[in-house]
Amino acid sequence: MFYPPVCGGCEKNGFRWCENCRKNSLLIPEPICDVCGLPQPKTGICPSCKEIPPAYLALRSWSVFEGPIRKALHRIKYRQDLGLGDALAAEMLAYINQLDWQIEIISPVPLGKKRLKERGYNQVALIARPLALAKGWEYVPRSLKRTKETISQVGLSANGREDNVRDAFVADSKRVAGKSVLVLDDVSTTGATLKSCAKALINGGAREVYALSVARALPRHGLMTV
């Protein structure tokens, strides 16, 4: 009564995720590339993934990065709405079940030490942990770590993003060897971070890697919006 829940998308009292925000969350328009998950004119694998196949088997995103999803992710990331991670994880479950991926462990994209100290928490971990509990996956947050402090991806070109996170991660082979791993991020734009994480996991001995983001910034959003 004194501290009612607030909707992460519109701040309506009494809800963690209201029906209106649920209806206004946009799914990724199909058809999409079978590998990177970006919309394209026809089904199949896009030219970019054919030319340079990423280390993950597939990348998918639950929602388009706009509207209530954008507001919710900013709220959890910048306004310390820690409980919103559970609500977003619950909303994602139906979509994840449709993917039918055979996952053993889930790992959030790790923050650098400096950013983790400043923020006090990894916002992606707040979503990854309840997903693991709901799906019966093993939650292994230390399966990946950053080997260098990267700058923010915001404002960088596609090539700049690739360069920024190249060889920025290393996997703990004791935790991932022989496993099917899902690596989770909050927002994916070019997919550079998830590609780098997947490469590190494969190098660490993971049997296969899938990538998932809560939201996807589509080409119409440009590279300045995340």
Cβ atoms 190, 223 nearer than 8 A? yes
Task: Kindly report, residue by residue over 15-54, the tens digit of the pLDDT.
Answer: 999 999 999 999 999 999 999 999 999 999 999 999 999 9
**What pTM did the predictor assign?**
0.91
Query: What is the average pLDDT across 85-90?
Result: 96
Q: How many CB atoms lie within 10 A of CB 174?
A: 10
Q: Which two tokens stand for residue 59?
A: 């990348």
d(CA 37, CA 210): 11
Does residue 56 sit in helix, strand or coil?
A: coil
d(CA 122, CA 207): 26
Alpha helices by DSSP H, listed for the chain, are 19-23, 47-51, 67-78, 84-99, 113-119, 125-135, 158-165, 173-176, 192-203
Q: pLDDT class for 226, splitting at 50, 70, 90?
A: very low
Structural domains present in the chain: 19-218 (3.40.50)
Task: Kindly report, residue by residue over 186-222, the tens digit of the pLDDT.
Answer: 999 889 999 999 999 999 999 999 999 999 998 765 6
What pLDDT is recorded for position 206?
Answer: 98
Average pLDDT score, the chain? 91
Handedness of CA 151, 176, 213, 122 (dihedral sign): negative
